[in-house]
Amino acid sequence: MIGSSQESHTIMNPFSAGERIEMIRKALIEFHIPLERVYTIPVPDILMNSVWPYHVRSYTPRFEAVVARNPLVVRLFREAGYEVLVPPAFNRYVFNSTNIRSLMISGDESWKERVPKSVYEFIKEIKGDERLKTIAGVDK
């Protein structure tokens, strides 16, 4: 699911929903994950947390379980009666989107090592790193 799909060109969400879908698709292909096993669905935010699970359900095919680490999302889906799977953290500091965006803004190319190769190439192709610098007010 692509959350906050209505947002793009911001520090928190510098890429459009379509661009995020392309990145996910490219990474799945790179890691040989069959695309027919995955739906990537954009879902815009709403301002009422208590109805978030029902909002998500209206955008998605049927599901029985949710995979999430965000404590609020976990609570909301459990309260709505869904099984919630909480995966273990995986080197959270290194593979953290806020840190990766900070590296991009500062011009530190080490962010390349923190995303799949296909995603790095896509971001460079669309000049996403330059876009993020502009959004942050740190033009070349």
Q: Are residues 39 and 99 in the same domain?
A: yes
Taking the C-alpha atoms of residue 115 and residue 117, their distance in angstroms, rounded to an integer, is: 6
In tens, the pLDDT along 93-136 reads 888 999 999 999 999 999 999 999 999 999 999 999 999 999 99
**Backbone angles phi and psi of 34, in degrees to 5:** -60, 125
Is residue 52 within 8 A of residue 46, CB to CB? The reply is: yes
Instruction: Please report the sign of the dihedral spanned by the C-alpha atoms of residue 74, residue 78, residue 79, residue 82.
Output: positive
Q: 140: how many CB neighbours lie within 10 A of its CB? A: 6
Q: Are residues 96 and 137 in the same domain?
A: yes
Q: What is the pLDDT of residue 93?
A: 84
Q: Are residues 38 and 102 in the same domain?
A: yes
Q: Are residues 39 and 107 in the same domain?
A: yes
Q: Are residues 94 and 121 in the same domain?
A: yes
3-state secondary structure of 65: strand
Q: Are residues 40 and 53 in the same domain?
A: no
In tens, the pLDDT along 53-83 reads 999 999 999 999 999 999 999 999 999 999 9
Q: Are residues 3 and 61 in the same domain?
A: no
Taking the C-alpha atoms of residue 82 and residue 76, their distance in angstroms, rounded to an integer, is: 9
In tens, the pLDDT along 26-49 reads 999 999 999 999 999 999 999 999
Q: Are residues 95 and 39 in the same domain?
A: yes
Supply the pTM of this predicted model: 0.90
Please tell me the total count of domains within the chain: 2
Instruction: Provide the residue range defining the domain that includes 61.
Output: 49-87
Q: What is the pLDDT of residue 140?
A: 56
Q: Are residues 113 and 135 in the same domain?
A: yes
Q: Are residues 63 and 129 in the same domain?
A: no
